Structure 1
């Protein structure tokens, strides 16, 4: 097994129930992700059920998304949308180091561990650690160069200074206030080795060139996030936050346009379906915000799918990377 890079405090857990998962197939190609194991669910007061969905119950976390099988499936598909759109799992110039140098890599907020396991299989000479708020990462039959840790990023990172060669974090735009973003970036930089690289990826939440139904649905989402003091435009000042650490050099960024809807082919269809699942997750909350019954809300989402083909919206994704000096 891979070497553990930390010594988390021991904790007592109640009996855990294991829910089996099968080998996961990429929705975009014949590529398979080797995750033929169980997802480890710990029922120990850290989760709560809302409308049949399981959510974390961590008091100091603003993160709003569920932590159950349906959500991990959605995140898995989101991973392949991202990889296909960007033509790769990262943009920073790390390829040679990952192949030959035995790099130590951290994925902060790893979710179901899709990125970690795929990268570990691609770069067997490097070691990958995934850290996430919820203990639902693959635990069995994972590559030997992988380990996972359940930990809240808002509590700081349980690693020494200058530990990792490469740190990756993406899609946490719905998790942090501006103050928390700055604290977490400072922590990520702290545990990055001198000469190591940090890469952060986020997408705009609300698509561009969208129609009236889209603005209603995304308006409900944005209103909910802002009510939690979430920094919904962190990507607009990400470079400034990276510069504020005064420990990074060669700060660079890249943008990518991503289309919504069947009009845009397989990627657009998957992205629309993926986003639609988010809207359905919060049916009760968003329908109340919009002042409609649940049945009307479901019809609104169906109409939104059709509207996408008329307005042909898109959103912009951003990758930021820098080297620690």
Structure 2
């Protein structure tokens, strides 16, 4: 198995074809105006320039994510859905956000391809593996072609690493 100069061996079938030399002993690319421009361009490429118009936050809980997004992006529309009504009442909301209580989260009350962006987080302890299969299918169903589904979860491996002072 091939090895890099330092560290772990490379996986079978991989090889180093070009290894840049550090410029100042600390950085692969020198801190310069050109590097600042490169980083800024990288930021804008990753951010994209598409105006996202419709969002849905599934399992929205208190609705804080949808509310913050509505305040930050007043030209977009946000819908938060959950099985429990914990979110703010209609009179307390910005005009570009609404919330819905649904009977169950697997059959979202939206047409196919309705949303540009679908968001769900912190549900790893709530769903069984079968629930996840149905949930992901449902999230992709309501997402427009070319849209974005974001699932944000805990690092379960980190939960297994107990700090030494906690033994």
- TM-score bracket relative to the smaller structure: 0.5 to 0.7
Matched, 1:134 2:87: no
Could you tell me which residue of structure 2 aligns to residue 185 of structure 1?
136
Matched, 1:108 2:58: yes
Matched, 1:200 2:151: yes
Structure 1: give runs of 5+ residues left out of the alignment.
1-92, 212-306, 312-325
Could you tell me which residue of structure 1 aligns to residue 18 of structure 2?
none
Alpha-carbon RMSD: 2.2
Matches within 5 A, 1:36-55: none
Matches within 5 A, 1:62-101: 93=46, 96-97=49-50, 101=51
Q: How far did residue 156 of structure 1 move?
A: 0.8
Q: Counterparts of 1:191 and 1:157 in 2: how far apart (Å)? A: 8
Could you tell me which residue of structure 1 aligns to residue 162 of structure 2?
210
Q: How far did residue 152 of structure 1 move?
A: 4.0
Q: How far did residue 103 of structure 1 move?
A: 1.2
Cα deviation code 1:130-153 (max 9, x no counterpart):
001101211122110000000144
Q: Counterparts of 1:154 and 1:131 in 2: how far apart (Å)? A: 8
Q: How far did residue 207 of structure 1 move?
A: 1.9
Matched, 1:173 2:112: no
Contact 2:52 2:117 in 1 (8 A): no
Q: Counterparts of 1:185 and 1:138 in 2: how far apart (Å)? A: 27
Secondary structure of the structure 2 residue equivalent to 1:169: strand
Q: Counterparts of 1:150 and 1:114 in 2: how far apart (Å)? A: 15
Matched, 1:149 2:96: no
Q: TM-score, normalised by structure 2?
A: 0.65
Could you tell me which residue of structure 2 aligns to residue 120 of structure 1?
70
Quick one: structure 1 residues 155 and 102, their matched pair in 2 at CA, closer, same or farther if it must change by over 3 Å? closer
Q: TM-score, normalised by structure 1?
A: 0.35
Secondary structure of the structure 2 residue equivalent to 1:203: coil
Please state which structure has a larger fraction of its residues in helix.
1
Quick one: structure 1 residues 168 and 95, their matched pair in 2 at CA, closer, same or farther if it must change by over 3 Å? farther
Structure 2: give runs of 5+ residues left out of the alignment.
1-45
Contact 1:154 1:180 in 2 (8 A): no
Please state which structure has a larger fraction of its residues in strand.
1
Q: Counterparts of 2:82 and 2:149 in 1: how far apart (Å)? A: 17
Secondary structure of the structure 1 residue equivalent to 2:92: coil
Could you tell me which residue of structure 2 aligns to residue 71 of structure 1?
none
Quick one: structure 1 residues 187 and 194, their matched pair in 2 at CA, closer, same or farther if it must change by over 3 Å? same
